[in-house]
Amino acid sequence: MLPRKKIPPGVPFLARRLVVDLIPAAIILVASRLFDFIFHFKLPVVTVTAGVVLSVPTLYALHIKLYQWHVRRAAAHLGAVLPPRWKGRSIGDRDLLDHVLEHYNNGYLGEGIWDKMGELGYLYDVTIMWGTNYVTTDANVIKTILAMEFAEFEKGEEFRDAMGTVLGSGVFNADGDMWKFHRMMTRPYFYRDRISHFELFDRHAALLIKKMKDRFQGGHAVDFQDAIARFTLDSATEFLCGKCVDSLESDLPYAHNDAVAPNLVRKPNVAERFARAFTEAQLIIAMRSQLGWFWHFQELLRDKTAEPMQVVDQFLTPILEEAIRRNRASRVKGMASHVKDADEDETLLDHLVKLTNNSNVLHDEMLNILIASRDTTAATLTFAVYLMCLYPDVFKRLRAEVLERVGPTQVPTFDDVRSMKYLRAVINETLRLYPAVPFNVRVPNRDTTLPNPDPNGPRIFVPAQTPIGYSVFLMHRRKDYWGPDAEKFDPDRWLDERLNKYFTANPFIFVPFNAGPRICLGQQFAYNEMSFFLIRLLQNFSAMELDLSAQPLDARPPPEWASADGQKGKEKVIPKSHLTLYVYGGLWVKMTEAEKET
């Protein structure tokens, strides 16, 4: 197992802060002694104590004033302006932090730090506890950050610090040469012959669909979110590591109100423990990102991710060690290839161990890729089924396309998937309303400027190391980008005149897979996997509906949501996000088998 730091992450942070903060106090103490030594006059203890105590806030106040002066001066030098600022009412704008955390925990997705978009514009400053953050949903700003000026924007040290105990130095948490190294390692593996491994998808899909049928035949609801996460985990581990963890072999959970549930006592298997622990770890680092630098003080005594990551490591480490062992054995026998391109039959892990035997690099990269291949695909399929339950006409039309193009039982091919335009429209519309990674952040590595959301205004100044949070979730729902029906689920917008009017004219209004040099390498793999599973699902089931009674009591939308505008007013579940999107409490559904139609 990989060694993990035993010192809680808050301790070194506090130590660094104390060293800096106590310098003025130390100077005052030394000065008082020198004053006594040189002038033989001892300053009153009260005076020295007051100076020591006041030195810290005085230093902070001076630092803040000097920083603000530097920012105004640098902005003027570049002919730029500062963005509007959301001003709080309390010292350090602590009330804004309370507002953000309250909405993060209890509000609708996208509420909280993003609440002033209508009032302040689509790029503004939220300074909390004297830490400056910019937030935006502007397509031109996001285009600049992700593509046009990519080299100037990184994940940043604060992001890496908050995410490091889970993501390590993997591709999602790396910048510069380390990011290029990870990208170089994985890029050769994702080409068409590999991303269209439909036989692999079919085996896992068949097992899941059988389990779902068994449950439905007994009158039980199924948590589709849990079920599809098992499918994507099994598919991902076999595709990436060559070893399926067989999470689908264990029983699916029962709903809280199911008569079977109280009598069912079983121990979770290795894959289930991994999945739960990995989700817990992601929730912890997501909360860190909400708290800003203040999160360190909550982890002075312990690293909150240590326990779940121990479970994750117990799952992943043996797989990595076996791959390293196989590679070393093959080299001893003289059979190992030194070619950097991926061989036809090798897994991604087999390919990576040819490039490095550094267990930390392998661990972090595989964990990052597992997030991309398991969580994002599972999230999209979960919300696709959710939306088809809400819009049965969409379900019927998509099923008709499946039966017409593929038939009721045939295994879909790559060409079948490519020809099904309504299927792609349904997936794209799901990704538009519920992108798998709804929020992200970048940090400029030097003072720079960004386009002003007001086309007639000067550029916006951004100081170096200022986090810029951007939300594709909210950008995808903007009416000025997508039309007056932007918050309506309508796959036809990808097929009719609206496609050219909105998306074709401005492609950066739709970036569910990121964009620019960091665009998702597994994008087409994800489309293929999602398409394949949806075809198989609709071949086997002729109707689907939400079982809201099976939804846990605390996982039901508050009554006041029903009066809200847009998709929020239609929600029957609570969308949440850690690193990726998910349904709080699961998505409980019932489906009708196709062969039982009368």
pLDDT per residue over 276-285, tens digit each? 898 899 999 9
Give dist(CA 562, CA 56) in Å, integer: 49
Work out the average pLDDT over 517-538. 93
Q: What is the pTM of this model?
A: 0.91
| Assigned token pair, 489 | 């689920």
User: Rounded to whole angstroms, how far apart are CA atoms 114 and 250?
Assistant: 41
Q: How confident is the model at residue 3 (pLDDT cuts 50, 70, 90)?
A: low
Identify which has the larger pLDDT, 187 or 216: 216
- Report pLDDT for 86: 96
Q: Is residue 253 classed as helix, strand or coil in its secondary structure?
A: coil
Whether 63 has a pLDDT exceeding 90, the answer reads: no
What pLDDT shows up at residue 569?
A: 95
Whether 421 and 92 have beta carbons less than 8 Å apart is answered as no
Alpha carbon 284 to chain centroid distance?
A: 12
Is 520 annotated to bind a ligand? Reply is: yes
Pairing of strands 588-593, 468-471: unpaired
Q: Token pair for residue 542?
A: 């002729």
Q: Residue 240 pLDDT > 60, yes or no?
A: yes
Task: Tell me the percentage of the chain whose pLDDT exceeds 90.
Answer: 62
Residue 468 φ then ψ, to 5°: -120, 105
Regarding predicted confidence, which is higher, 101 or 211? 211
Query: Would you place residue 102 in the very low, low, confident or very high pLDDT band (cuts 50, 70, 90)?
Result: very high
Strand partners, 469: 135, 441
What's residue 42's pLDDT?
A: 77
Q: Minimum mean pLDDT among 49-58, 113-122, 221-230, 552-561: which range? A: 49-58
Rounded CA gap, 201 and 358, in Å? 31
pLDDT of residue 6: 74
Residue 4: predicted pLDDT? 65
Residues 176, 172, 511: CA angle, nearest 5 degrees: 105
Q: For helices 306-332 and 270-291, what crossing angle results, to 10°?
A: 120
CATH of 171-437+512-596, one of 1.10.630.10, 2.40.30.20, 3.30.300.180, 1.10.10.1100: 1.10.630.10
Every domain of the chain and the residues it spans: 9-77, 171-437+512-596
